[in-house]
Amino acid sequence: MAARLDEKLEPIFQDVLRRNPGESEFHQAVHEVLETLGPVLVKYPELAERKIIQRICEPERQIIFRVPWQDDRGETHINRAFRVEFNSALGPYKGGMRFHPSVYLGIIKFLGFEQIFKNALTGLPIGGGKGGSDFDPKGKSEDEIMRFCQSLMTELYRHLGEYTDVPAGDIGVGQREVGFLFGQYKRITNRYESGVFTGKGLSWGGSRARKEATGFGTVYFLEEMLKARNDGLEGKTCVVSGSGNVAVYAMEKIYELGGKVIACSDSSGIVVDEKGIDLDRVKRIKEVERRRISTYADEVKHAKYIEDGNIWAVPCEAALPCATQNELNGKDAKKLLQNGCIAVAEGANMPSTPEAIRLFLESGIAYGPGKAANAGGVATSALEMQQNASRDSWTFEHTEQRLHEIMKNIHRNCYETADEFGAPGNYVTGANIAGFLKVSQAMEAMGLI
């Protein structure tokens, strides 16, 4: 059950419900932020008078359009695409594109809303936005994906620009899709505007460490939370949900910092390897062969594959949800806590339900919400924009060092803000208030726009 809101904030939330019917993920994301803002309005009553919160909850622009495309048999398909340009107080809109059948306006708005605060926490000059389509790249040929991307960009290009709106990848949109989207943008605009898209290939303006950044950053944040409790990852058993980009590189960094990953998953089930997941094998299965995670157990005889299994039932000391929204519920949180879990760091966006978050906070474990813990991806996207603007390309080591510094700063900012507003150790409160204050100050400075 969601927590009660401050009496000044309840009417604002009711208004969000009324104006955005049926968008449950967006409602959840807004409620989760509003829950923590009561003390801010006490300290800064002028924010209520100027209706800053209402303005943040209403996107600056919502773009919805159809995407017609032909498959290899010549059959016509019509998909729907979205770009929600949520808030540009700190810089151009910045946020990924998601291609998945579940995509609808409510999911894009939840992601865009989260992105405002996450981007603010990075300390870099980027606003919040998000986009995507209900197109499913699974089972499509390369040519079909190219035709879809080109059709989508033929409409979207007019809303983009390195000083306006800068998309990137997300679920279903990797380097291949970014290449097709960027190529069509270049073709239509007749401009090689590298900084308009991030997540590009290294040979055409991409940044080293971008692919690794979200996973690496999540583990850096986890390590900082543990350090704040005079602990560390060394010797800790971990479970990581998912086996895509974020999960794979989170696992890599856990091993580097001395931890051990004993389980990972995909949409079909989970694989448990008590000796430690063989990361090179997972990379080959998922990134090269593009097969199901069950293949791992076929190859490693002592590993166990559980179809439709629950990864949160596997006993661990640290849990990293790195798959999708609302994948970890109250029952799962109870199980993790019963089994001795002491830390949770979110590599995905809003992967824990409100009930799960409540249990984590009440138990006093180290809990890092996505908008703080997984901000490394968008931070490195902003570093890619910097490199593009200066026609430069940094080494992997330099980019990773910048990422590490940014994640340490995000942790410090969240930790100190939580302390200042009477919720020591509560990274949810710290992240929400720190991000909100930065955006609201910029909005105030720019007047009523």
Residue 63: both structure tokens together: 């773009």
249 Cβ partners below 8 Å, 6+ apart? 211, 212, 213, 214, 215, 216
The answer to whether 409 is a known ligand-binding residue is no
Quick one: which of 403, 407, 333 has its CA closest to 371? 407
Is residue 348 within 8 A of residue 386, CB to CB? The reply is no
Interval 371-383 mean pLDDT: 96
Q: How far apart are CA 26 and CA 255, in angstroms?
A: 35
Q: Which CATH superfamily is domain 61-193 in?
A: Leucine Dehydrogenase, chain A, domain 1 (3.40.50.10860)
Pairing between β-strand 76-87 and β-strand 61-70 as defined by DSSP bridges: antiparallel
The sign of the CA dihedral 87, 93, 94, 97 is positive
With 70 as the cut, is the pLDDT of residue 152 above it? yes
365 Cβ partners below 8 Å, 6+ apart? 337, 341, 342, 343, 344
**Helices assigned H by DSSP within 21-64:** 24-34, 38-43, 46-49, 52-57
Q: What are phi and psi of 270, to 5 degrees?
A: -125, 155
Number of Cβ atoms within 10 Å of the Cβ of 249: 26
The answer to whether 399 is a known ligand-binding residue is no
Mean pLDDT, all residues of the chain: 96
The question of whether 130 is a catalytic residue gets the answer yes
The answer to whether 324 is a known ligand-binding residue is no
Residue 112: both structure tokens together: 């865009």
Q: How far apart are CA 5 and CA 106, in angstroms?
A: 21
Three-state SS for 343? strand
**Which of residues 56 and 4 earns the better pLDDT score?**
56
The answer to whether 214 is a known ligand-binding residue is yes
pLDDT for res 283: 96
Pairing between β-strand 237-241 and β-strand 318-321 as defined by DSSP bridges: parallel
Q: How far apart are CA 196 and CA 179, in angstroms?
A: 12
With 80 as the cut, is the pLDDT of residue 1 above it? no
Catalytic residue among 130, 211, 286, 371: 130
The answer to whether 370 is a known ligand-binding residue is no
Question: Looking up tokens 């994948």, which residue turns up?
Answer: 327
Q: Which residue ranges make up each domain of the chain?
A: 10-57, 61-193, 211-373
243 Cβ partners below 8 Å, 6+ apart? 264, 265, 266, 282, 285, 286, 293
Is residue 209 within 8 A of residue 216, CB to CB? The reply is yes
Look up the pTM and report it.
0.94
The answer to whether 413 is a known ligand-binding residue is no
The answer to whether 115 is a known ligand-binding residue is yes
Q: How far apart are CA 48 and CA 194, in angstroms?
A: 40
Number of Cβ atoms within 10 Å of the Cβ of 422: 9
pLDDT for res 2: 58
Class of domain 211-373: alpha beta
Which tens digit of pLDDT belongs to each residue from 266-295? 999 999 999 999 999 999 999 899 899 999
Is residue 105 within 8 A of residue 23, CB to CB? The reply is yes
Interval 200-224 mean pLDDT: 96
Quick one: which of 115, 168, 164, 136 has its CA closest to 67? 136
391 Cβ partners below 8 Å, 6+ apart? none
Which tens digit of pLDDT belongs to each residue from 6-44? 899 999 999 999 999 999 999 999 999 999 999 999 999
pLDDT for res 4: 80
